Amino acid sequence: MDKILLVDDDAMILEDNQAYFRAAGYEVVCAETAQEAEEVILSNALDCVILDVDLPDMSGFALCEKIRSKTGIPIVFLSGYTEEESRVRGLSVGGDDYVCKPYSLRELELRVQARIRSRRIAEPPKVLTYGLLTLNPASCSASYETRSVDFSSYEFDVLYFLAKHPGKIYTPDQIYDAVWKAPINKGQKSLQVIMARIRKKLFDICPGHDYIQTKRYKGYLFLPDRETII
């Protein structure tokens, strides 16, 4: 299920778009201001943002430009400004598409799908290397010097997510949202089991380093170096 963020200060448009995309099988998050949208974008794993240009606290153009240096998430502008100048500006600040109001919800969905597909094709998972440790997403495996170990897809997805953000602590619900996009109350114990399996497999090939650390009341993190974060 793809997860999208709808950003619009028009309650009727927000309600109509939310109803349509949820009925089409998307997980939908909504925001009515640029500040709310920025917080959601930087704290959630999203597949696309549908962004209105006119927001009460900041223009959609300014918000797009502000967050573009932090994320490559597809952004589709939704605007009543039909002038070429506005469309060009939306694309020049980092937008991926520009849809003018009034619009067809089906066409909007197709544009969103196209941007999501393009990003996934353009950004295949990369091999991650931290010193002697290598994580290979193609085979869901890790190697350390001459030793290697295989992971289940669930295990590797969690490990790869944490390894992409070394040193950053993630709560269980953030991990679920980023990796499986599932509510945390459906499987916190399952996540604990998966974490235990990941740590054991890594310890088997590199017993001198605890790559996955648990911070009580905070969450989990991946540490590539021999250090401890409190």
Q: How many other CB atoms are found less than 10 A from the CB of residue 82?
A: 10
- 179 within a domain of the structure (yes/no): yes
Both 83 and 139 in one domain: the answer is no
- 48 within a domain of the structure (yes/no): yes
Residue range of the domain that includes 72: 3-122
pLDDT (0 to 100) of residue 185: 44
Confidence of residue 138 (pLDDT cuts 50, 70, 90): confident
Both 41 and 109 in one domain: the answer is yes
pLDDT of 94-113, one tens digit each? 899 999 988 999 999 999 99
Both 7 and 117 in one domain: the answer is yes
Q: How many other CB atoms are found less than 10 A from the CB of residue 134?
A: 15
Both 118 and 138 in one domain: the answer is no
Confidence of residue 53 (pLDDT cuts 50, 70, 90): very high
> Who has greater pLDDT, 146 or 121?
146
Both 118 and 157 in one domain: the answer is no
- Give the pLDDT mean for 8-36: 95
- 20 within a domain of the structure (yes/no): yes
pLDDT (0 to 100) of residue 10: 93
End residue of a domain, out of 122, 144, 174: 122
Both 204 and 184 in one domain: the answer is yes
**172: which 2 tokens?**
């269980």
- Give the pLDDT mean for 75-96: 88
- 137 within a domain of the structure (yes/no): yes
Both 35 and 141 in one domain: the answer is no
Q: What is the DSSP letter of 21?
A: H
> Given a cut of 60, is residue 228 above it in pLDDT?
no
CATH number of the domain bearing residue 139: 1.10.10.10
Both 167 and 210 in one domain: the answer is yes
Q: Compute the distance between CA of residue 138 and CA of residue 177 in angstroms, rounded to an integer.
A: 22
Both 109 and 15 in one domain: the answer is yes
Domains of the chain: total: 2
Both 151 and 71 in one domain: the answer is no
- 227 within a domain of the structure (yes/no): no
- 86 within a domain of the structure (yes/no): yes
The lowest-confidence range among 116-130, 145-159, 164-178, 195-209 is 116-130
Both 161 and 144 in one domain: the answer is yes
Both 118 and 148 in one domain: the answer is no
- 25 within a domain of the structure (yes/no): yes
Q: What is the mean pLDDT of the chain?
A: 86
End residue of a domain, out of 94, 122, 150: 122
> Given a cut of 60, is residue 230 above it in pLDDT?
no
**151: which 2 tokens?**
């992971």
End residue of a domain, out of 64, 95, 122: 122
pTM confidence score? 0.57
Count helices and strands (H / E) in the chain: 8, 11
Q: Compute the distance between CA of residue 141 and CA of residue 148 in angstroms, rounded to an integer.
A: 7
> Who has greater pLDDT, 8 or 229?
8
> Given a cut of 70, is residue 182 above it in pLDDT?
no
Helix (H, G, I), strand (E, B) or coil at 73: coil
> Given a cut of 80, is residue 179 above it in pLDDT?
no
- Give the pLDDT mean for 58-79: 89
pLDDT of 24-36, one tens digit each? 999 999 999 999 9
- 230 within a domain of the structure (yes/no): no
pLDDT (0 to 100) of residue 212: 93
> Given a cut of 90, is residue 118 above it in pLDDT?
no
CATH number of the domain bearing residue 64: 3.40.50.2300
